[in-house]
């Protein structure tokens, strides 16, 4: 097996809290008189709270002191944490839990590498801490993504070199961080829902065309990692609208591979 450990980003990979971020930041934007929509919200993915605030404030005609910025960031986080209280274990897709269990049973070290300072609370709400050997979050680092610190520190926490780790990430800042840290990664799928196109694996040996709804991305990513690491196979040129279509495509491959395997066994027995 090529990898000894896998480091997962949290939001958008293991679960989705986009709706909570959007609502909390939208209220901040309204307060400061700045525009806010899904396009602006996407720019906030994978960056720190204060950097996200600066992106929003860039659309306002007002100026703010450092103290006012701290207040705005704190109020946003307070709103966000109240919304996070709605989360439960049901917010982590079954496909994600199954994949994490299989990866753990295969002997891989699993870690979370998230810039969020709310990562511990989210994992608690999801009842997901039990899957991970280490969690490195925004409270433990001096530099947010795209700096590789969160990933290199997560690797160190599980006693592995960066080259022995695969990073699973869905945001541009996180992909840049993984590359800067010398880690392997599958290309992210977040943009595929907007513009279906080939998505190349890190090895560039295969490609797939994927169209997945945004709320399905965590489960899709989990299945992709499971297929890549545990089954050591990737179905090429898969075009999916839903998780159900992807799962059925992979079941078709499994049935085909199983039949081929049985066929080889039968021919071998006949020759003997």
Describe the crossing of helices 119-126 and 66-84 by its angle, rounded to 10 degrees.
10
* Predicted local distance difference test score (pLDDT) of residue 124: 97
Q: Report the candidate in 218, 230, 233 with the shortest Cα–Cα distance to residue 103.
A: 230
| Contact by Cβ (8 Å): 83, 209 | no
133 noted as active-site residue: no
Tens of pLDDT along the chain (272 residues) come to: 678 999 999 988 888 888 899 999 999 999 999 999 989 988 887 778 999 999 999 999 999 999 999 999 999 999 999 999 999 999 998 888 888 888 888 899 999 999 999 999 999 999 999 999 999 999 999 998 999 999 999 999 999 999 999 888 877 788 889 989 999 876 443 333 323 333 333 333 333 333 334 445 565 566 566 565 655 544 444 444 444 554 555 555 444 444 433 344 444 444 34
The answer to whether 91 is a known catalytic residue is: no
Give which of 238, 258, 257 is closest to 248, Cα–Cα: 238
Could you give the CA distance from residue 85 to residue 158 in angstroms, rounded to a whole number? 29
Q: Which candidate in 11, 18, 91, 216 is catalytic?
A: 11
Q: What is the pLDDT of residue 93?
A: 84
- Please provide the distance, in angstroms rounded to a whole number, between the alpha carbons at the two ends of the chain: 32
Catalytic: which of 9, 91, 170, 184?
Answer: 9
200 contacts 213 by C-beta, under 8 angstroms: no
Q: Quick one: pLDDT at residue 211?
A: 38
**Residue 186: closest CA among 196, 175, 198:** 175
Report whether 155 contacts 171 (CB < 8 A): no
The reported pLDDT for the residue numbered 8 is 92
pTM to 2 decimal places:
0.70
**Can you spell out the DSSP letters for 71-94?**
HHHHHHHHHHHHHHTT--GGGS-H
Please say whether the dihedral angle defined by the alpha carbons of residues 187, 88, 25 and 177, taken in this order, is positive or negative.
negative
């Amino acid at each position: 097996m090529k990898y000894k450990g896998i480091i997962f980003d949290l939001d958008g990979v293991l679960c989705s809290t986009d709706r909570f971020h959007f609502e909390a930041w939208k209220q901040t934007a309204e307060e400061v008189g700045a525009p806010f929509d899904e396009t602006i919200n996407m720019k906030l993915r994978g960056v720190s709270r204060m950097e996200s605030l600066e992106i929003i404030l860039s659309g306002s005609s007002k100026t703010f002191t450092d103290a006012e910025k701290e207040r705005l960031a704190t109020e946003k986080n307070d709103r966000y944490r109240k919304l996070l209280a709605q989360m439960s274990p049901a917010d982590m897709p079954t496909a994600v839990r199954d994949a994490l269990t299989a990866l753990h049973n295969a002997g891989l070290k699993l870690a979370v590498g998230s810039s969020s300072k709310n990562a511990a609370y989210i994992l608690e709400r999801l009842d997901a801490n039990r899957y991970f050997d280490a969690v490195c979050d925004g409270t433990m680092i001096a530099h947010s993504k795209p700096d590789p610190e969160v990933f290199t520190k997560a690797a160190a926490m599980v006693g592995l070199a960066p080259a022995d780790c695969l990073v699973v990430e869905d945001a541009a800042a996180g992909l840049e961080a993984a590359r800067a840290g010398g880690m392997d990664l599958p290309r992210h799928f977040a943009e595929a829902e907007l513009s279906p196109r080939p998505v190349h694996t890190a090895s560039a040996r295969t490609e797939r065309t994927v169209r997945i709804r945004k709320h399905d991305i965590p489960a899709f990513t989990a299945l992709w990692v499971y297929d890549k690491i545990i089954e050591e196979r990737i179905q090429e040129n898969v075009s999916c609208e839903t998780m159900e279509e992807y799962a059925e495509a992979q079941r078709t491959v499994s049935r085909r591979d199983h039949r081929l395997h049985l066929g080889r066994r039968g021919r071998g027995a006949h020759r003997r």
